[in-house]
């Protein structure tokens, strides 16, 4: 009889699989959905591979980069970001705050003048994490960029009013260009790239599913039968607040996959990744990794 696993890991998402991979003792991963990957899963439908939305690998941590390159054994390609924003019937490059060229003149004027006249907040820039998101936007980008993009897009994405959330999540995710970049981006379309995700890895074949399947963990999949943690495991100290209490307004993600026979290319809408701040469109964005 084989030795009993010492450690039981609930959930075969990337966190559970990574835990199994890095543990120095035997373990078993119990996965309720019938396949590993969790949010980072792909589905093969009529010969097309669809991810749970595009899962792009931004490998900033050198250890993680080495590990993933090793696990995927060359089945990776490095892509340059091509992300666009659709507003006022035109596409402008991401991020909006550094690329207003091409928008209507009055919008550009709002954005540049707003940036020049942005109010300052008490405290030291850029650590305004303690302030409400609307105040952070106004002091970082000014009134025009906030009104034309930051407020409508983020309200649509997070389903919260800009004053009802904090700015602590913005960190590296919301680029904060300097005045020169804002002005240059209003006069021409510069090639400068901003943000943490200017390039990313993505599997050549098999969608993101190849990553969770690469680790060789001992997985027991239980279709539709969630494993229950042993009674009493989470009693006592360290138990966090109930998730529903912590995130009373959580919302879901609806995915629509579109497949086309033939070589992969960005044929339908012209731009591989686009976001839509306008409240009139029912979605926040699309991506073709």
User: Is residue 30 involved in binding ligand FAD (CB under 6 A)?
Assistant: yes
Among 74, 238, 244, 253, binds ligand FAD (CB under 6 A): 253
Closest-by-Cβ residue to ligand FAD is 13
User: Is residue 16 involved in binding ligand FAD (CB under 6 A)?
Assistant: yes
Region of 12-20, 91-99, 129-137, 260-268 interacting with ligand FAD (CB under 6 A) = 12-20
Q: What are phi and psi of 110, to 5 degrees?
A: -55, -45
Separation of alpha carbons 208 and 204, rounded Å: 9
DSSP H or E run through 202: strand 199-202
Residues 31 to 90 in contact with ligand FAD, rule: CB under 6 A: 31-33, 38-40, 53-56, 58
Q: What are phi and psi of 104, to 5 degrees?
A: -55, 145
Q: At its nearest, how many Å lie between ligand FAD and the CB of residue 193?
A: 17
Spell out the alpha helix ranges (H) of 73-177. 105-116, 133-145, 151-158
Strand partners, 45: 48
Q: At its nearest, how many Å lie between ligand FAD and the CB of residue 203?
A: 12
Separation of alpha carbons 242 and 54, rounded Å: 29
Q: What are phi and psi of 45, to 5 degrees?
A: -130, 120
Say how far residue 73 (Cα) sits from the centre of its chain. Answer: 25
Of the candidates 7, 10, 3, the residue with the CA atom closest to the CA atom of residue 220: 10
Helix/strand/coil for 213: helix
Instruction: Rank residues 30 and 98 by Cβ distance to ligand FAD and give the closer one.
Output: 30
Q: At its nearest, how many Å lie between ligand FAD and the CB of residue 40?
A: 4
Instruction: Rank residues 102 and 195 by Cβ distance to ligand FAD and give the closer one.
Output: 195
**How many residues of this chain interact with ligand FAD, rule: CB under 6 A?**
22
User: Is residue 227 involved in binding ligand FAD (CB under 6 A)?
Assistant: yes
User: Is residue 14 involved in binding ligand FAD (CB under 6 A)?
Assistant: yes
Find out whether 141 and 154 touch, Cβ atoms under 8 Å: no
Q: At its nearest, how many Å lie between ligand FAD and the CB of residue 96?
A: 20
**In the complex, which residues of this chain contact ligand FAD (CB under 6 A)?**
10-16, 30-33, 38-40, 53-56, 58, 226-227, 253
């Amino acid at each position: 009889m084989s030795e009993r696993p010492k450690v039981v890991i609930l959930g075969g998402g990337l966190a559970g699989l990574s835990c199994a991979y890095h543990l120095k003792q035997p373990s078993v991963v119990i996965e309720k959905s019938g396949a590993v990957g969790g949010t980072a899963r792909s589905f093969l439908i009529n010969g097309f591979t669809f991810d749970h939305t595009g899962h792009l690998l931004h490998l900033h941590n050198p250890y993680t980069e080495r590990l993933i390159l090793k696990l995927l054994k060359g089945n990776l390609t490095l892509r340059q970001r091509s992300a666009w924003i659709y507003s006022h019937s035109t596409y402008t490059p991401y991020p909006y705050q550094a690329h207003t060229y091409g928008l209507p003149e009055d919008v550009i004027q709002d954005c540049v003048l707003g940036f020049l006249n942005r109010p300052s907040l008490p405290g030291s820039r850029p650590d305004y994490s303690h302030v409400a998101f609307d105040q952070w936007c106004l002091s970082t980008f000014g009134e025009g960029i906030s009104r034309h993009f930051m407020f409508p897009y983020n309200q649509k994405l997070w389903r919260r009013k800009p004053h009802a959330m904090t700015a602590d999540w913005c960190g590296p995710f919301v680029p904060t260009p300097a005045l020169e970049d804002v002005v240059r981006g209003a006069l021409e379309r510069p090639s400068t790239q901003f943000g943490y995700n200017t390039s990313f890895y993505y599997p050549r074949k098999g969608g993101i599913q190849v990553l969770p399947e690469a680790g060789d963990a001992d997985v027991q999949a239980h279709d539709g039968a969630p494993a229950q943690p042993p009674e009493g495991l989470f009693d006592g100290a360290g138990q966090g607040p109930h998730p529903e209490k912590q995130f009373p307004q959580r919302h879901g993600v609806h995915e629509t996959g579109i497949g086309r026979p033939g070589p992969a290319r960005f044929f339908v809408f012209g731009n591989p990744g686009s976001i839509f701040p306008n409240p009139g469109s029912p979605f926040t964005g699309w991506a073709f990794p």
